[in-house]
């Protein structure tokens, strides 16, 4: 039986426009993170919001450790969502790791995309000095995994070694959604690994679509050098350095985010 993608990925379709605009959340969060941004586009676009399988209010039972150990597994989620919502030629808006996931999906099935808006993208988080500065060492990422692990022992009777499916304990899912957006420690860890240990530099040259790279100032997760690297290696890309600092401009500086997105879309549409 075909999975119901609307349920699996908690898809929401809103807006009065016909051109689809698909918003993909980053690691550690869910579609809620877009709530300061998408309303600015809902008059002109068909807004598609979703949670990756394993995040937010998605169907955790549909999670497959093999599939989601690889960002391509997430890229298939994006394509599934595009197909389920009939969103050919969409404007894809991806934050952080989702920027890369979107790129992978656009290479795989180009007809589902027209433009790619990439917020704080990084093709590789780990340094490979001297050629490449991603910002982190492998040990930093291992520590991050530990930090995440420590944050999950607080809740639930997670001391039980078995990897529990939330299907058996539905009360957990609801309760946890209120704390972290990524609810399952095993899934969150896998997502972190897929995100921070991937190397997608070689994929950049395969991207054909027009893209906007939104680079925050002082972003420790995707430093400016990484944004510049993206700009250099993505054909057809526009790099915009934002006044906003940190890694989440769509939450900390939604106005600037919206303005830059609109400028880019107006510009591309004119040419």
Partner 1 sequence: MLSKTYIPSIDVDALPCGIVSVDENGKINFVNNYICHLLGYSNEELLEKKVELLFTISAKIFYQTHFYPLVKLHNKAEEVFFSLMGKDGSHVPVIGYATKTDEYICCVFVPVRERRKYEQEILQSKKTAEAAIEKNEALTQVKNELEFQLAESDRQLTMLRQFNEEYIELNRIISHDLHEPVRKLMVHIDRLFVEENITKEKIESSLQKMMEFCTRLRQLTISLQQYVSVDVLQEAMVNIDLQQVIKKCFDIVATEDGYTGAELRIENLQEVEGYPSQIERLFCEIIGNSFKFRNEDVPLKINIRSTIFSDNIYKEIKDKYKYIDFVRIEITDNGPGFPAEYNEYIFGLFKRVRLDKNGLGFGLALCKRIVERHKGSITSKSVNGTTSFNIVLPLKQTTL
Is 35 a binder of partner 1 (CB under 8 A)?
yes
191, 55 Cβ separation under 8 angstroms: yes
Candidate residues 147, 236, 259, 267; the one interacting with partner 1 per rule CB under 8 A = 147
Candidate residues 5, 22, 24, 26; the one interacting with partner 1 per rule CB under 8 A = 26
Residue with tokens 């600015």: 40
Supply the minimum distance, in Å, between the C-beta of residue 93 and partner 1: 16
Binders of partner 1 among residues 182 to 201 (CB under 8 A) are 182, 196
Candidate residues 14, 220, 225, 235; the one interacting with partner 1 per rule CB under 8 A = 220
Is 245 a binder of partner 1 (CB under 8 A)?
yes
Strand order of the β-sheet with 19-24 is 12-14, 45-50, 19-24, 90-95, 113-119, 210-217, 237-245
Q: Which of 124, 116, 96 is nearest to 250 (CA)?
A: 96
- Please tell me the distance from the alpha carbon of residue 271 to that of residue 268, in angstroms, as a whole number: 5
DSSP string, 188-250: HHHHHHHHHH-B-GGGGGG--SEEEEEEEET-SSS-HHHHHHHHHHSTTEEEEEEEEESS-HH
Binders of partner 1 among residues 48 to 107 (CB under 8 A) are 64, 66-67, 69-70, 72-73, 75-76, 96, 104, 107
Catalytic positions are: 96, 219, 247
Q: Interface with partner 1 by CB under 8 A: which residues? A: 26-29, 32-33, 35, 64, 66-67, 69-70, 72-73, 75-76, 96, 104, 107-108, 136-137, 140-144, 146-151, 153-154, 158-159, 161-163, 178-182, 196, 203, 206, 208, 218-221, 245-248, 251-252
């Amino acid at each position: 039986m075909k999975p119901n993608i609307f349920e699996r990925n908690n898809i929401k379709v809103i807006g009065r426009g016909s051109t689809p605009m698909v918003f993909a959340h980053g690691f550690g969060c869910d579609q809620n993170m877009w709530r300061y941004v998408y309303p600015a586009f809902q008059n002109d676009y068909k807004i598609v919001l979703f949670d990756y399988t394993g995040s937010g209010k998605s169907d955790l039972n549909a999670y497959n450790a093999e599939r989601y150990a690889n960002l391509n597994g997430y890229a298939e989620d994006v394509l599934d969502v595009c197909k389920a919502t009939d969103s050919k030629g969409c404007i894809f808006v991806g934050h952080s790791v989702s920027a890369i996931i979107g790129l992978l999906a656009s290479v795989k099935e180009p007809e589902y995309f027209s433009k790619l808006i990439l917020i704080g993208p990084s093709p590789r988080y780990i340094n490979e000095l001297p050629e490449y500065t991603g910002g982190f060492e492998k040990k930093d990422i291992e520590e991050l995994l530990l930090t995440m692990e420590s944050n999950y022992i607080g809740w639930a009777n997670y001391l039980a070694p078995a990897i529990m499916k939330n299907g058996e304990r539905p009360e957990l899912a609801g309760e946890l959604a209120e704390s972290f957006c990524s609810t399952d420690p095993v899934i969150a860890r896998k997502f972190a690994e897929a995100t921070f240990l991937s190397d997608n530099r070689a994929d950049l040259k395969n991207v054909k679509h027009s893209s906007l790279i939104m680079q925050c100032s002082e972003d420790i997760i995707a430093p400016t050098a990484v944004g510049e690297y993206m700009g250099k290696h993505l054909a057809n890309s526009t790099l915009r350095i934002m006044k906003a600092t940190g890694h989440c401009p769509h939450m900390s500086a939604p106005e600037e985010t919206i303005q830059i997105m609109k400028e880019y879309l107006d510009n591309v549409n004119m040419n």
